[in-house]
Amino acid sequence: MPDAQGRMIRAAMELFAERGFEQTTAVDIAERAGVTERTFFRHFADKREVLFDGSATMVHTVHEAILAAPGDLSPLEAALTGIVAAGDLLEERRDHAVRRSRIIAANPSLQERELLKLAAMVDTTAEALRKRGAPEPAADLAAHSAVTVFHVAFASWISEQAQPSFAECVAQTTAALRKLM
Amino acid sequence: MPDAQGRMIRAAMELFAERGFEQTTAVDIAERAGVTERTFFRHFADKREVLFDGSATMVHTVHEAILAAPGDLSPLEAALTGIVAAGDLLEERRDHAVRRSRIIAANPSLQERELLKLAAMVDTTAEALRKRGAPEPAADLAAHSAVTVFHVAFASWISEQAQPSFAECVAQTTAALRKLM
DNA sequence: GAGAGCATGACAGTTACTGACATCAAACGT
DNA sequence: ACGTTTGATGTCAGTAACTGTCATGCTCTC
């Protein structure tokens, strides 16, 4: 049976949405996907990780986009270029992103994992900025700020009925942030 | 035997430092503290929580300090007032804070929990700013930025051999952040 | 000094996760 | 065509994080 991993991801999303994360056992997911519990844990380090499959790709995209950005951009501008590139990935599957974020919002232990992934995005962003020559603590602070923008822009992107593009949300959020300082 | 909770916290910090978080079982901690495993889990929701006892106090301090700050401060300035107040709590037990942060840095699952507590600090800060009349998304962004400053300032506070005060670290980090924008 | 209330112990049960070994099928070299 | 090797999966036993329930003992009060 092909694409066991994809089947497990879909099964997990369905079950988490139907009855919640805590009420779903690893065995439940494995059964619905037609595999054994052991196979589930071979593909995912833990039960939560099944929702975070794409996160490595996103972090990688951010990294590449920052290194490819024009050299004369400020650290913050370069970091935001990476954020917009990450947003493009979400844009391709808006519906999936919305359902996933609802599931995560409903469970603190999933929120923890999401925060860890965002922290990885901060680290990667800061590293890319340093490669471009940004000094500390500017690299670190710009990375944190960019991921904050990502976080807040994402929330408005999925909540608006107007359905603006992710890049627009980033632009608006960035403007608001600049105004604060 | 008095102060069971304190004994468990101390036992856990010792054991985590000696052999690491994963290599320490809840039974180990309970035994060293002279209680049973069940008692441990009555005091702490999970094994990680034993390291995050003071976090509610800190969040509460931030909230109070923001509400007590002069009304004419900008949202970001008010939020930073809260951060400095939280720093004062750390200042009282610098040694403990350093040991604790080393333990957390050594384990990803503890980092997750730390990030969740910082996220709670963001939420509380944003709420306090809203009570002061800050609109969205300013309240949210200022809260995120203030906690970023806390995070980065904390790192420099514990790494510097010069041992500056926490408030100085916050001031320097804030200045660097403003320069970025 | 009986009883209410609270912290703890004792114990059984579920579930997340891991290690070790067996199986099976596709891919590969000869 | 055939033995081999490799990768994915199944099976099974085990550890440890938690949870529910009931029993026990201690303190405080009337």
- Per-residue pLDDT tens over the stretch B84-126: 999 999 999 999 999 999 999 999 999 999 999 999 999 999 9
**Which residue is it, tokens 């957390």?**
B104
Lookup: tokens for B55: 């976090």
Instruction: Give the Cα separation of B172 and B181 in Å (integer).
Output: 15
Check if the beta carbon of residue B80 is closer than 8 Å to that of residue B147. Answer: no
Which chain A residues in 2-61 lie under 8 Å from chain B, judged by CB atoms? Answer: none
B70: DSSP letter: -
Q: Tell me the whole-structure pTM to 2 decimals.
A: 0.96
Query: What is the percent of chain A with per-residue pLDDT over 70, rounded to a whole number?
Result: 100
pLDDT at A163: 85
Residues A9-68 pLDDT 10s: 999 999 999 999 999 999 999 999 999 999 999 999 999 999 999 999 999 999 999 999
Residue type, A11: A
Task: Round and report the angstrom distance from CA (B44) to C1' (D23).
Answer: 23
Q: Which of A113, A127, A118 is nearest to A154 (CA)?
A: A118
Contacts of B180 in chain A (CB under 8 A): 74-76, 138, 141-142, 145
Instruction: Give the Cα separation of A173 and A180 in Å (integer).
Output: 11
Please, which pLDDT band fits residue B167 given cuts at 50, 70 and 90? Answer: very high
Q: Which of B62, B61, B51, B53 is nearest to B122 (CA)?
A: B62
Instruction: Give the Cα separation of B126 and B78 in Å (integer).
Output: 11
Helix (H, G, I), strand (E, B) or coil at B163: coil
pLDDT at B161: 84
Rg (CA), chain B: 18
Residues B11-55 pLDDT 10s: 999 999 999 999 999 999 999 999 999 999 999 999 999 999 999
A174 in B contact zone (CB under 8 Å): no
pLDDT at B163: 85
